[in-house]
C-alpha cells in the first residue's frame, strides 16, 4: 500500500477515533451508526457475523448483546479473541463444512451480519458480481438460522445486480432499507442492506 494511502488513513477521523477508543477497525462505527438508526442489536440477542476479521464489528456486537447474548464470528483469517460471549470460527462461510459448524454452534439467531468484501480485482463488473455472491451466501445463512422477525445486515457494492437482490430481500423480510452510514468513505461504492422482520 502506498504512502499516500497511509497518510490519508492517518488523517481519517474514524481511523483515529477507532485507535483512541480501542476498536480494531474504523468499520466499527459503521455498525454503531446502522444500529443507532435501525436498532437491530439488543441485549441478549444471538448473532452470526460473516467475514468478521479483524473484529471491529465483532467488538460492537459483543458489547451490544451483552453477557446474556452470544456472537459467532466466521472468517478465513485468524481473528484475536474478543470476549467471553464470542465464539470465533475460522473458515469460508460459503462452504458446506462451515455451514454445518454454524448449525452446531448456533442453530437459531436474531441477527446475521455480513461486512465481507470480495477480493478486489479492479474490474468493477467482476467485483460487483463477487460482492453480490457474498450477499446471496449471507441471505442463505440468514434463511437457515434467523428466528421469525430477525434481521440480516449485509454489505453490497452498488451496481446493476443490486436492485434484483433488494427485490428478493423484500419477498422474505417485512422491512428492507439501503443505507450508507456516515463512517463509509464518500468515494466508496459500498452500501448496507438492512433487512428486518424476517418472515420465517
Active site residues: 155
> Which DSSP helix (H) or strand (E) runs through 85?
none
DSSP notation for 11-45: H-HHHHHHHHHT-SSTTHHHHHHHHHHH----TT-
Where are any strands of DSSP class E within 36-145?
A: 46-50, 70-75, 86-90, 109-114
Angstrom distance (rounded) from CA 200 to CA 195? 13
DSSP 67: T
* All three cell numbers of 148: 421469525
Q: In the block, which residue shows the cell 422474505?
A: 172
Asked if residues 192 and 144 have their Cβ atoms less than 8 Å apart, the reply is no
* All three cell numbers of 89: 470460527
Amino acid at each position: 500500500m502506498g504512502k499516500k494511502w497511509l497518510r490519508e488513513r492517518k488523517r481519517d477521523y474514524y481511523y483515529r477515533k477507532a485507535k483512541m477508543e480501542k476498536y480494531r477497525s474504523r468499520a466499527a462505527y459503521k455498525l454503531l451508526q446502522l444500529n443507532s438508526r435501525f436498532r437491530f442489536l439488543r441485549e441478549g440477542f444471538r448473532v452470526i457475523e460473516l467475514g468478521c476479521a479483524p473484529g471491529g464489528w465483532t467488538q460492537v456486537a459483543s458489547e451490544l448483546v451483552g453477557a446474556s447474548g452470544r456472537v459467532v464470528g466466521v472468517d478465513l483469517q485468524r481473528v484475536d479473541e474478543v470476549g467471553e460471549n464470542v465464539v470465533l470460527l475460522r473458515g469460508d462461510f460459503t462452504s458446506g463444512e462451515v455451514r454445518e459448524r454454524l448449525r452446531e454452534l448456533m442453530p437459531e439467531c436474531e441477527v446475521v451480519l455480513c461486512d465481507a468484501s470480495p477480493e478486489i480485482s479492479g474490474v468493477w463488473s467482476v467485483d460487483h458480481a463477487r460482492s453480490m455472491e457474498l450477499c446471496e451466501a449471507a441471505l442463505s445463512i440468514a434463511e437457515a438460522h434467523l428466528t421469525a422477525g430477525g434481521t440480516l445486515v449485509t454489505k453490497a457494492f452498488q451496481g446493476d445486480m443490486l436492485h434484483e437482490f433488494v427485490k428478493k430481500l423484500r419477498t422474505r423480510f417485512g422491512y428492507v432499507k439501503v443505507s450508507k452510514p456516515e463512517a463509509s468513505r464518500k468515494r466508496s461504492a459500498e452500501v448496507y442492506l438492512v433487512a428486518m422482520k424476517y418472515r420465517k
